[in-house]
A and B are shown apart, each in its own frame.
Chain A
Amino acid sequence: GAVVSQHPSWVICKSGTSVKIECRSLDFQATTMFWYRQFPKQSLMLMATSNEGSKATYEQGVEKDKFLINHASLTLSTLTVTSAHPEDSSFYICSANNRLAESTDTQYFGPGTRLTVL
């Protein structure tokens, strides 16, 4: 149980284009999902918290107009990288907790999406 999927697993795009990444909770409903970014050989950094039916909360230094987050249902959150540039190349990982069914705040992570911007 508590499986999180992401799509696509990897994407290569040209500079200036937009890329959408999907995060799905497959066997549970997630009121809150989280988006992280990991640069090579570094740790994960929280980008934003996505709440179903409301606006996302962005961490300091993360441009909300560049990283658009939509959480329209209890099983799906999307991250759109708008006008991507080479410096946006990174590993993007989402997570969700199962607070509707579990007594803990355990976060379950998706497999990640590797974005390369040429």
Chain B
Amino acid sequence: GIQVEQSPPDLILQEGANSTLRCNFSDSVNNLQWFHQNPWGQLINLFYIPSGTKQNGRLSATTVATERYSLLYISSSQTTDSGVYFCAVESGGGADGLTFGKGTHLIIQP
């Protein structure tokens, strides 16, 4: 099956800093999503981005499908950005489940 690798596994930053999270995947994908898992376990949809670039406030994401990677950018980090960020992909016909990376644990210190 498809492999998903996220880096870095852990990241500690000061409030106001910018960060870049990376997701590499081993095959072409139909679906790529970025999630933020909050302390209660809820997965918050950040982006659906199998290709191209999207922005939503302080967050943006870019997927280069031909090179099989995606980047999540967080600018001007806030303490509420802390948590685990997951990249997940689907490489079938669109009706398959997602394969998740191991996540990046982000801690934003005040």
A111 & B33 in contact (Cβ 8 Å cutoff): no
| A34 part of interface (Cβ distance < 8 Å) | yes
Q: Which residue of B lies closest to A59 (CB)?
A: B97
Is A28's CB within 8 Å of the partner chain B? no
Q: Are B103 and A111 in contact (CB under 8 A)?
A: no
Given contacts A44-B86, A93-B41, A112-B41, contact A105 B99 (CB under 8 A): no
Q: Given that A43-B86, A104-B48, A106-B33 are contacting pairs, would A111 and B99 also be in contact in the complex, using a CB cutoff of 8 Å? A: no
Give bound CA distance, A108 to B88, whole Å: 12
Chain A, 11-24, contact with B by CB distance < 8 Å: what is the 0/1 string? Answer: 00000000000000
Cβ A36 vs Cβ B97 within 8 A: yes
Residues of A within 8 A of B45 (CB): 106, 108-109
Residues of A whose CB lies within 8 Å of any CB of B are 32, 34, 36, 38, 42-46, 49, 59, 91, 93, 95, 97, 99, 104-109, 111-112, 114
Q: Interface of B with A (CB < 8 Å)?
A: 30-31, 33, 35, 40-43, 45, 48, 86, 88, 90, 94-103
In the A-B complex, list the 3 residue pairs whose CB atoms are closest, starting with the nearest: A46-B97, A109-B43, A106-B48
